[in-house]
Amino acid sequence: MATADPARREKPGLAGWWFQFPAPLREVALVRLVGSIGAGGVLYLTPMVFHQEAFSAASVTQGLALAALAGTVGRFLSGWLLDRGLNCSVPVLLAALAALVADSHLFAARTFGSYLQGQLLLGIAMGLYWPAIELAVPLSCRQGPAPIPSARGYALVRSADAAGIAAGALLGALLAAADRLRGIYLVDMLCLSAMVLLLLLRPLPAPLRAEGRTASVAWGTWLPPLLPVLAVALLATALPALMQSALPLDLVRGGMERQALPESVGALLIGLQLGLLVVIQWPVGQALARRPVGLGLGISLGCFAIGTALLGLSALSPHGLGLVVLAQFPLALGEAAFLPIATEAVIELTPLDHQGLAMALFSQCFAISAFSAPLLAGLALDRYGHGLGIWLTMTALCLGGQLLVRQIRPRPEAA
C-alpha cells in the first residue's frame, strides 16, 4: 500500500492524527484492532463460560495453563523463521486458522476434555501470533518517506489492542446479561475471518535479513542484557493473566466479607478496567515513549502493586465492591505503561537480526505467567475460597520487582 500523502498528514482532527503514521503501521494497527475485538471476550470471559458449566476453579485454570504451555513451540518456531526473513503475515495467518478451530471446539464444549482441546489450539494460535505481530511494528515504522520511532508505533498498536479488547469484553458482558455468553466464540470467529481477509489483501512486512549470518544464534552476546527486562515481564505479565482467570472467579465467588457478584456484573467490572485502558493507553504510551524505558517499567510495577493491594483489601470488607472498582484505575495505568514500553525495551536491547527470537522470548514470558499464575491461583481459590492471598502476594512481588528495573541498561547503539 502506498504511503500517505504528506498533505493529508497536515489535516487537523482525528484523520490528521491517523495519517501521521506510516501506512504499513496503520495496517498493523487495524489488523490488531479487529483481532482484539474477538479476543477480548474469549480471553476475559472464558472462565465465566465454564464456571456456568460447574467446572471447578482448578479445572478452568488448568485449561488456561495448558493453552499457555502449548504456545511455547509456536513462539520459538515463529521467532526463528522471522529471523530468517519469513513475512510476518504467515505466522499470523496460521494463528488465525488455529484460533478458528479452537473457537469451534470451545463453543460446543461441555466436557473437560473438549475444553482442553479448545484451549490447546488457542495456545498454539497465540504462540504463532505474538512474535510476528509484535515484530511487524518496528518494521512498519521504518517504512515510507517519514519513519517514526518504534516506541510511538508501539503506543499506537497497544491503543488499538486496548480498544479492541475493551469492545470485545463489552460485547461479552452484553451476551452474559442476555444469557448467551458462549456467543463470544462466534464473535471471535467473525473477527478472525475479517483479519484473514485483511492480511490477504495487504500482507505485513518481511523482516530484514542480515547478510552473512551463521545458522547458530550467538545467545551469549545479546541475551544477558535482556534478562532484567524478561524478568520484569515475567512478573508484570502475571497480572493480565490473573485478570483473565482469577479475578472473574474471585468476583463470582465473593471474598471473605465481600458478597459474590453475578457473572454479568463481574464482566462489567472487568470491562471498566479495559475501558480505562482505551482512554489512557495512547497518552500514557506517547508520554513514556520520550523517556527511558526503566521509568515506564517502574511506574507500571508501582501501579500494579497499588491495584493488587486494593483487590486484596476488598475481600475484607462487606462493601469491598467499591475497592474492586477503585483498583481498576491503577491496574489500567500499570498495563498502559507496561505494554508498549516493555516491547520497546526488547527492541532497544536486541540486535536487528535477532529481534525475532527476542520477541519469542518476550512473548514466552506471557506464556509462562499465563501457565503458572492461573494454575496457582485456581488452587488457592479452591482451597481458601477467596483471592486475598493471591492479590497481596502480587503486591509484594511488584514492589520487589523495582530492583530488577534498576538493572536495565539499553545498548549504546540503540536508537
Mapping DSSP to helix (H, G, I), strand (E, B) and coil, where does residue 254 land? Answer: coil
Please indicate, yes or no, if residue 328 is contained in any of the structural domains. Answer: yes
Please indicate, yes or no, if residue 9 is contained in any of the structural domains. Answer: no
Which residues lie below 8 Å from residue 265, measured CB to CB, with a gap of 6+? 251
Q: What is the pLDDT of residue 142?
A: 85
Query: pLDDT under 70 in the chain at which residues?
Result: 1-12, 208-218, 220, 263-267, 410-415
Q: What is the pLDDT of residue 12?
A: 52
Alpha carbon distance, N-terminus to C-terminus of the chain: 26
Q: What is the pLDDT of residue 247?
A: 85
Cα distance between residue 14 and residue 167, in whole Å: 20
Please indicate, yes or no, if residue 168 is contained in any of the structural domains. Answer: yes
Cα distance between residue 32 and residue 133, in whole Å: 8
Please indicate, yes or no, if residue 387 is contained in any of the structural domains. Answer: yes
Domain count for the chain, please give it.
Answer: 1
Cα distance between residue 227 and residue 223, in whole Å: 6
Please indicate, yes or no, if residue 8 is contained in any of the structural domains. Answer: no
- Residue type present at position 190: L
Which residues lie below 8 Å from residue 396, measured CB to CB, with a gap of 6+? none
Q: What is the CATH number of the domain that holds 111?
A: 1.20.1250.20
Residues 26, 143 contacting (CB under 8 angstroms): no
Cα distance between residue 64 and residue 43, in whole Å: 9
Q: What is the pLDDT of residue 9?
A: 44
Please indicate, yes or no, if residue 15 is contained in any of the structural domains. Answer: no
| Total count of residues recorded for the chain | 415
Which residues lie below 8 Å from residue 346, measured CB to CB, with a gap of 6+? 226, 229, 355, 358, 359, 362
Note the pTM of the prediction, 2 decimals. Answer: 0.81
Residues 309, 395 contacting (CB under 8 angstroms): yes
Q: What is the pLDDT of residue 151?
A: 87
Q: What is the pLDDT of residue 218?
A: 62
Q: What is the pLDDT of residue 3?
A: 42
Which domain covers residue 346, as residue numbers? 21-208+220-405
Residues 142, 11 contacting (CB under 8 angstroms): no
Please indicate, yes or no, if residue 365 is contained in any of the structural domains. Answer: yes
Show the cell assigned to 9: 498528514
Cα distance between residue 358 and residue 219, in whole Å: 10
Cα distance between residue 349 and residue 414, in whole Å: 7
Closest CA to 373 of 73, 127, 65: 65
Cα distance between residue 61 and residue 261, in whole Å: 19
Q: What is the pLDDT of residue 10?
A: 47
Cα distance between residue 343 and residue 333, in whole Å: 16
Q: What is the pLDDT of residue 212?
A: 44
Residues 357-391: tens digit of each pLDDT: 889 899 888 888 877 888 888 888 888 888 888 99
Cα distance between residue 28 and residue 134, in whole Å: 9
Q: Would you call 290 exposed, middle or buried from its count of C-beta atoms within 10 A (0-12, 13-18, 19+)?
A: exposed
Please indicate, yes or no, if residue 14 is contained in any of the structural domains. Answer: no
Q: How far is CA 187 from CA 97, 293, 334, 353, in A?
A: 15, 36, 28, 37
